[in-house]
Chain A
Amino acid sequence: MYEAVIGLEVHVHLNTRTKAFCGCSTEFGSEPNSQTCPVCLGFPGSLPVLNRVALEYAVKVGLALNCRVQEYTKFDRKNYFYPDLPKNYQISQFDLPVSLAGFLDIGPEENVKRVRIRRVHLEEDAGKLIHKDEMSLVDFNRAGIPLLEIVSEPDMNSPQEAYEYLTALKSIIEYLEVSDCDMEKGSLRCDANISLRERGTSGLGVKTELKNMNSFKAVKDALTFEIERQARMLNNGETLLQETRLWDPKGLQTVPMRTKEEAMDYRYFPEPDLPPFMISREKIEDIKKGIPELPKEKMIRFIKEYPGISEYEARILVSNKSCASYAEKLFKEWPDRNKKPVANWLIGPLAALAAANNREIADTNITASNLLELIKLVEKEQVISNLTGKSVLEEMFSTGKPASAIVKEKNLAQVSDESALEEVIAGTIKENPNSVEAFRSGKENAVMFLVGQVMKRSGGKANPKVVQDILRRRLKDA
């Protein structure tokens, strides 16, 4: 039996207004090469000047990941030739990165898995190659955008753990508001190192580096594929090569890119154009004060402060900062001690609706107070049924109108008044003699069929509980 050993390297674009070493804008999606200058184009004679905000963001992430933030940090050059790299070296950090030795906890509270963070360092991004017909074009708008590299220790043992680590990491970075973490725009990228070893041993096997995964799911799929591939080879007595492999999202497999022998010698050396930076203890403390409540702390607090919320629910609600504050607003305003109904609506119908429309929970035009009103109408005042509530929610989503207005406009209020229901119920009994007979002969289920018929005739507006009471009474009486 093998055990997988997985380490992840995550690259995150920092959302500073300007690039890491010049004043060019970092805006996404502009005209190619419109956001460039002699510095980010690497023109002869140009020199880098560090964007201090990028350094602060890097420190912030280091602190949030429980790292030791270095008071003395410096930049190094990573040398390699590629047309998207204007200077043919990348300004990065080698032996004195911004932060070292942190950790990130994943998994449920009673069984936490601690993944150690090796380092967090700041570097500049490269440009983008566009291959067109016979030509290759370079867009340098991305060149020089500050990039944070977060390297874990090989502490994860399954694709699922890697997935949870990525989710937790993304969530923290979003909370810090230092990146939009959008994988589609390339503002979050992930490479994985994976090897296998005999379960129960502690050595490390021959590792593969996996690249080109464009979503967290792709990371999981690539790791799953790679575990099977390596296990099969080991079982067949074949020798694994230390190599870099690319995830092929169409073929759902990893394909070889280069072996260790072909690996580049980056010839790191200290960047002579940037003197080392000192970050004072006071400055680090200042940055620390600016760190908001992070997802895990928030989850623990939600469970404690809002009865009826499970860890599972709290974890989902806090995974996104705006969702968490949206939920918290509802919890606070929900009149009952038990907040379960609110959580159910958030994680159930609202989450489904948002997901179907590619939105975040807090990013629809359903305001917290409008949602609160809807939940009250269903759960407390029983003005509408659960089912009607869901369709009202959809209406709210598309029109932005408050629930009460929709209920009134469409005349959706449940009918609970017995006298108003008498006629429909009498008609239903008359038209379904078989069901009536079945009920009377002891078939309990038959009553539910009759309730359904009444609901249908009332256009879904009848209060099903009231209908059932009346039906039972009438069928026994007769």
Chain B
Amino acid sequence: MDLSKLTAHELTVKIDKGEITPADIVQSLKERIKGADAKNKAYVRIPDALEAQVETGKADSALRGVPVSIKDNICTKGYNTECCSKILCGFKPPYDATVIRKLKEAGATIFPAKTNMDEFAFGSSTENSCYGPTRNPWDPDTVPGGSSGGSASAVASDEAIMALGSDTGGSIRQPASFCGVVGLKPTYGRVSRYGLIAFASSLDQIGPLTKDVRDSAILMNAISGHDPLDSTSVDIAVPDYTRALEGGAKGVKIGIPGEYFAQGLDKEVKAIVEEAINKLRQLGAEDAQVSLPNSQYAIPVYYIVATAEASSNLARFDGVQYGFRKADPKAALIDMYKGTRREGFGDEAKRRIILGTFALSHGYYDAYYLRALKVRTLIKNDFDRVFSEFDCVVTPTSPTVAFKIGEKAADPLAMYLSDICTISANLAGIPAISIPCGFTRKGLPVGLQILAKPFNEELLFRLAYAYEQGTDWHKMKPKL
């Protein structure tokens, strides 16, 4: 039995029966990684990690010592956390992110290798990593999506049992869609951001990437909740999400926003998503057309708000305290700053820092940042209006399936447009899940996105689980 192929809930049964130990799972994963990762490149700094002594969680805990793989932008005490950027090379945080602490408390094993990502989560393909691109296990010539492409690829290829990613504009859901796994972006404030190296503070959320919906609920149970260390985390009780799974699709009111099925949507993807909606209908859900008219502004709003916040969040990487420093003892301060940032940041990071700096500049603030905040409110109002009548909104997760490595690398705007379906959820602060809903003729996975009102992750799990139970997409495995 290859334990790496199992889900967390399958493994916990085996642990409870005394058939396996947490250490067996770690061993199985290490072997899987040795076999698959040379090609897949889902993890970074593999050699160190595979030699490291892994401290496994306890078998009698909630997570029974099941290993969780962590994106490289979530701080793990004593283990490198570099955001796949040269500027943070060698950075070992002196503390654990709150989600890591919670996972340890729940008995998870923190897998020592970190998963690959676009530098500082800037990207939709995991090509912008200082460690090079990750491959999509369904077709190694295509990208796994991004920025949590390492986590998605690892879960899809059984190099991970489950993983954490972060989602600022779709960075969990889009790679989940591209790799055929389940990815959830929680409500803003549901999961603590303490220890997540910030990209855009008002949009970032940590969330699970898993092989099925039940594992997603299990992982959410462990990481959710108010954190006094994160002032933007919300003090609302966390339900047992696994109890929401069995609710069924019957009577769930689904809004289908026409704007998300318009131009730019791949025909094959469109047909597959419509078929999935049809399936939900058969399962008893009721659907109707709705309108989210301001979603058309989501991309420009996002690229102003997110880059503005990023330009400030990334200012601290200056070579003074930690990470990479362009060291020339004779250089003036300004030259150390310039040299460190010029050599430490990749092109996309520089592009976004410049965009954001411009958007906040004197004389431009009102026209860009302030206006973007106002439109952001309009986008949120659209959802509020729809959710006053509907339980959820269903859309494609991405307008296309995984694209070829290098295909959009030279065209930032085309790359930015691949997040067109996911960005609104971040701007509105609402939860959204992506689940596998079919494959194209070329064998690439398609994702279905479900969005709900704030703090109603339970509805997402309920509907997603009902769909999953009625289909077999989540059981498909890539041939590696």
Contact = CB atoms under 8 A, between A and B. Distances in A.
Contacts of A83: 318, 320, 333
Interface stretch (B22-30, B41-49, B87-95, B467-475): B87-95
B193 interface: yes
Per DSSP, chain B at the interface is loop
Interface in B69-88: 74-75, 81, 83, 88
A44 B231 CA distance: 16
B357 A267 contact: yes
Interface of B: 74-75, 81, 83, 88, 91, 93-95, 97, 193-198, 200-202, 228-232, 308-309, 311-312, 315-318, 320-322, 329, 333, 337, 357, 360-362, 365, 369
B231 A274 contact: yes
Given A44-B81, A45-B198, A50-B231, A88 B318 contact: yes
10 contacts: A44-B91, A45-B97, A45-B197, A47-B231, A49-B229, A79-B312, A88-B315, A88-B318, A268-B360, A269-B369
A262 interface: no
Interface string A238-266: 00000000000000000000000000010
A47 B312 contact: no
Contacts of B74: 45
Given A50-B231, A138-B320, A38 B95 contact: yes
Interface residues of A, number: 30
Contact of B316 (A44, A50, A134, A267): A44
A267 B333 CA distance: 21
A25 to B, nearest CB: 18
Contacts of A136: 333
A27 interface: no
Contacts of B337: 81
Contacts, number: 101
A87 B333 CA distance: 16
B308 A269 contact: yes
B315 A89 contact: yes
Nearest to B357: A267
A415 interface: no
Nearest to A38: B95
Contacts of A43: 93-95, 321-322
Nearest to B120: A44
Contact of B360 (A47, A49, A81, A269): A269
B331 to A, nearest CB: 12
Given A44-B81, A269-B360, A269-B365, A49 B312 contact: no
Most chain B Cβ neighbours within 10 Å, of A88, A138, A272: A272
Greatest chain A CB density within 10 A among B318, B337, B369 is at: B318
Interface in A123-168: 134, 136, 138
Contacts of B362: 265, 267
Contacts of A71: none
A81 B93 contact: no
A46 B315 contact: no
A45 B231 contact: no
Given A79-B312, A269-B308, A273-B231, A44 B93 contact: yes
B232 A273 contact: yes
A72 B201 CA distance: 21
Contacts of B357: 267
B81 to A, nearest CB: 7
Contacts of B308: 269
Contact of A49 (B88, B228, B321, B361): B228
A274 B229 CA distance: 11
Which 6 A-B pairs give the minimum distances between C-beta atoms?
A88-B315, A272-B201, A267-B360, A272-B202, A44-B197, A45-B195
A41 interface: yes
A42 interface: yes
Interface in A85-111: 86-89
A344 to B, nearest CB: 56
A341 interface: no
Nearest to A80: B315
Contacts of B230: 47, 49
B232 A45 contact: no
A81 B320 CA distance: 11
